[in-house]
Amino acid sequence: MVVCSGHKIDFKNNVWTVIGASDQSIKEGDLISLNKIIGLKHHEIGYYLHSHGTSNHENVTPISKQQQVTICSDRGIDNDWLIQRYNFTTSYDVGHLMNGDIVSLYHINTNKPALYSNTVLLGDGSQEVSCYGDGSEKNNKWRIELIN
C-alpha cells in the first residue's frame, strides 16, 4: 500500500522517478509533457506505483474501502498514470512539468480515478492513499519537486 508521511522530503522513502508508460522510454533530463501517460518508479526500491480495479470488493484500501494503490515489481498497464497540471481556469493545461507544479494523477486502466491522499490515518500515523474522485479535490493534488 502507498502512504503519505508529512511535508518534508524523505529522500529514502518519498522520491519517485518519472518513467515512460508501459515500454516507452524517458531519458534522464528529458522534459515531461503534461497530459502524458507516465509511470512512476520508487527511487529507493525500484518498484512501480500501481493500482487496479476493485471487482468484488477486492483490492480496496483497509479503512476507506476505496481503490487501492500499491507498489509492484512488475511493469505493466496497471502502472500507467495520466499527469495533468492543476489549473483554475481549464481542466486541460499544456506545456511541460516544472518544479513546484501542482498536479493530479489519473489511473489509466481503471478509467481515471485520481490519486488521492485520504485524511484517514493508519495505525502508524501515515495517510492512506487511494484512487478516488475526479481530481478536483485538494486531496487529489500533488506537488512536484524536481531534484538532481
d(CA 93, CA 101): 11
Say what the pLDDT of residue 119 is. Answer: 83
The Cβ of residue 120 has, within 10 Å, a number of other Cβ atoms equal to 14
Which residues span the domain enclosing 62? 3-144
CATH (domain of 138): 2.80.10.50
According to DSSP, the β-strands at 3-4 and 16-20 are unpaired
Residue range 77-110, pLDDT digits in tens? 999 999 998 876 666 677 898 888 889 999 999 8
Main-chain dihedrals φ then ψ at residue 79, nearest 5 degrees: -105, 10
Comparing CA positions, the residue from 48, 105, 40, 51 lying closest to residue 78 is 51
Judged by DSSP in three states, 138 sits in helix
pLDDT at 113: 84
How do 48-51 and 67-72 pair as beta strands? antiparallel
Q: In terms of Cα–Cα distance, which of 64, 84, 80 is closest to 72? A: 80
Question: Domain total for the chain?
Answer: 1
Low-confidence ranges of the chain (pLDDT < 70): 1-9, 23, 56, 88-92, 148
pTM (predicted TM-score): 0.85
